[in-house]
Amino acid sequence: MQKLIFTVSILFSSSFFSFAQNKTSIHLLLGNPGSAKTEINSENNFLIIKEQYALSYNKSKNIPNWVSWHVDINDLGKAKRKNSFRPNTKLPLGWYRVRPNDYTGSGFDKGHLCPSADRTNNEKNNSATFLMTNIIPQAPHKNRGVWKEFEEYCRRVVKRGNELYIIAGGYGRGGTGSKGFLKKIRNNIVVPKQTWKIIIILPYGEDDLKRIDGNTRIIAIDIPNSENVDGKSWREYKITLAELEERTGYNFYDNISPDAKRVLLTRMDKR
């Protein structure tokens, strides 16, 4: 399937870190929340574009602000989960590179934002989801329960003949893991207070930006990063896009038409 895509030219130059490359990403087609930039002086809103997803990284928190990705049936296959958690060695020199063992004994899971199971068409794409720049500390019952259930729901929607544009992230400080409340874990990795996700659902087709209108289905959720959500449904945490923008401070989907955005801001999913 051919897609209209958003092209970003990346150019770094400093005494510590330099490279130049061109990247093309469908994952930013609908917008770039907070206008993340591929510049070292944008260290707390640092844009990283990969083939599998795009993200805004926060150096001061050692976690992503958000991760954005597109998923359709071509991304789903039979590749096995790699479990290859590892530091992102492409971060600028001098930046701390989070390691998997930073989470050991913390009471928090290494929680994916772009899920491993959204990238099962081949081992390379699956492995890319295990970079620690795609990971935030998540309370185990929340990560393995309500959060996982919503991830599985999204893939069922894809298998029904749809493609999704997804953004997920966290905000605030302090969550309750299996060992109690913490604001940070090892090496000053911030534990978000809340975790959120938005999906825009489109039937398979072309010219996705032009197809998004006031009738497009959108789901936004905002879930406490806590063991106390165990056993609850993700549907209990649905909110409007306008509410999520107010809570996070982001302007989501700034590339879609203003008329469509105006309607989608207050649309509450009823299914």
Active-site positions? Answer: 112
Nearest to 234 by CA among 170, 141, 151, 150: 150
CA dist., res. 219 & res. 241, Å (int): 8
CA dist., res. 185 & res. 105, Å (int): 9
Given a contact cutoff of 8 angstroms between Cβ atoms, the answer to whether 59 and 95 are in contact is yes
Non-local (6+) Cβ contacts of 16 within 8 A are 40, 92, 93, 94
Give the SS3 label for residue 221: strand
β-sheet bridge partners, residue 135: 112
Burial of 29 (0-12, 13-18, 19+ CB in 10 A): buried
Given a contact cutoff of 8 angstroms between Cβ atoms, the answer to whether 9 and 212 are in contact is no
- DSSP of 143-200: HHTHHHHHHHHHHHHHHTTEEEEEEEEEESS-EEETTEEESEEGGGEE--SEEEEEEE
